[in-house]
Amino acid sequence: MSQYQKSDVKSTGNHVDLSAIKLADVIDLEFLQSFQDDFAKSVGLASVTVDPDGNPVTKPSSYTRFCDCTHSTESGDNRCAESHRKGGEEASRTGKPVIYECHAGLIDFAAPIMLEGRQIGTILGGQVLTDVPVDAKYRKIAKEIGVDEEVYVDAVQEIRKLSRDSIESAANVLFIVANSMSKTAYQQRKLRTASDTLNDGLNQVSATMEELAASATDISANQARLNAEITNVNTVTGKIDEVMDFIKDIADETRLLGLNAAIEAARAGEAGLGFGVVAQEIRKLSADSKETVGKIRDLTSIIKESVDKTVRMGNETTSTIEQQAAAIEEVTASVQEITSLTAELNDLANSK
């Protein structure tokens, strides 16, 4: 369980808190009751199941008249409780069924119900004898607890006699069954918690995957718009080039004008000298214009290159996004598979 606690704070609420587990959480008490009753009847051993504090969680099965009689006074009841506590304590300490003689001289056993090394309950039972009872002993006890001696001695005669081996075996059967029941139930509970945690985790993964898929679509759309915008820049650049062609044409025309003006000036001789200078200036200006056109052309070609590069990178991005989207789809499919497995696991964990 520790990895769940570490990996996600939210799942701490899901993990099985061992210290809070009660017997009723891991054993179906109704089932335990009928098992205990049937067992008591068939073997002839009385039994009751108590929680770690000694409070009964089942009704007593096949209690003897002798014991009912013992319990009938406050003193007897207290001594019984003390005796049970001691037996339970011993059982808890050893983690195994314990056979002992109770305060009223009967043979009892205490079988602890353990879960992960912790006691969650005890099956107490017995109310039998291994030998023929000696009246004097029971008369003394009757006196001590304040019950009628004759009734008490009479009742003790009804107590069933079993060999110590039989008692031990019976105690063992109860111990094994109760413990394996609680262990199984506990494992199932752990399984349920794990499958719940797994399910929660998968739901989160699913949600995240959906978000990822959505954002991949967004990015893809954005990239497409970006590409369109950038292509638009190229169109505008093309138009600038067209304008530059026009300006260059004007510059060429101006230069020709300058040349022809120089020719006219030369023909005019002395009178054309000043005009010749003007013609020269016009030629210079047209040369400047042409040079400027060249510079602008260089710039627009840089813009074009840059745009082409951007478009190429944009296309790469688009294909990367497509790959990512495909990967997300694959993951989503895997998650769905795992989710259905988890559902099966959950059914298994929740089946009785």
Partner 1 sequence: MSVQLVVFALGTDEYGIDISTINGILRAKKFKIQSLPDTDKSIEGIINLRGQINYIFNLRTKFNLVKKEFLEESKFIMLNVNGSTTGCIVDEVTDIVKLDDQDIQLAPEFINTCNSSYITGIGKLEDRMIIILDPQKIFAKEINMIE
| Sites of contact with partner 1 (CB under 8 A) | 252-253, 256, 259-260, 262-263, 266-267, 280, 283
For 117, phi then psi, to 5°, come to 85, 0
Which residues are CB-neighbours of 193 under 8 A, at least 6 positions away? 1, 14, 15, 16
**Nearer Cβ to partner 1 (100/275):** 275
Half-sphere exposure of 189 (CA within 13 A, CB side): 20
3-state SS class at 9 = helix
Instruction: Supply the minimum distance, in Å, between the C-beta of residue 330 and partner 1.
Output: 58
Instruction: Supply the minimum distance, in Å, between the C-beta of residue 259 and partner 1.
Output: 5
Please name the helix (run of DSSP H) or strand (run of DSSP E) that holds residue 76, with its range, or none.
helix 74-94
Instruction: Supply the minimum distance, in Å, between the C-beta of residue 255 and partner 1.
Output: 9
Q: In whole angstroms, how far apart are CA 261 and each of 273, 275, 284, 290?
A: 11, 8, 13, 19
**Nearer Cβ to partner 1 (267/352):** 267
**Nearer Cβ to partner 1 (81/296):** 296
273-350 vs 164-267: helix crossing angle, rounded to 10: 170
**What would the DSSP string read from start to end of 242-307?**
HHHHHHHHHHHHHHHHHHHHHHHHHHTGGGGHHHHHHHHHHHHHHHHHHHHHHHHHHHHHHHHHHH
Instruction: Supply the minimum distance, in Å, between the C-beta of residue 283 and partner 1.
Output: 8
Asked if 283 and 259 count as a contact pair (C-beta separation under 8 A), the reply is: yes
Instruction: Supply the minimum distance, in Å, between the C-beta of residue 235 and partner 1.
Output: 25
Q: Which two tokens stand for residue 151?
A: 């009734």
Which residues are CB-neighbours of 248 under 8 A, at least 6 positions away? 289, 290, 293
**Nearer Cβ to partner 1 (71/283):** 283
Instruction: Supply the minimum distance, in Å, between the C-beta of residue 252 and partner 1.
Output: 7
**Nearer Cβ to partner 1 (68/264):** 264
Longest dimension (CA), the chain: 168
Instruction: Supply the minimum distance, in Å, between the C-beta of residue 303 and partner 1.
Output: 24
**Nearer Cβ to partner 1 (264/305):** 264
Instruction: Supply the minimum distance, in Å, between the C-beta of residue 234 and partner 1.
Output: 24
Q: Using alpha carbons only, what angle is made at residue 217 by residues 215 and 221, rounded to the nearest 5 degrees?
A: 115
Q: How many Cβ atoms from other residues are within 10 Å of residue 182's Cβ? A: 22
**Nearer Cβ to partner 1 (266/326):** 266
**Nearer Cβ to partner 1 (51/252):** 252
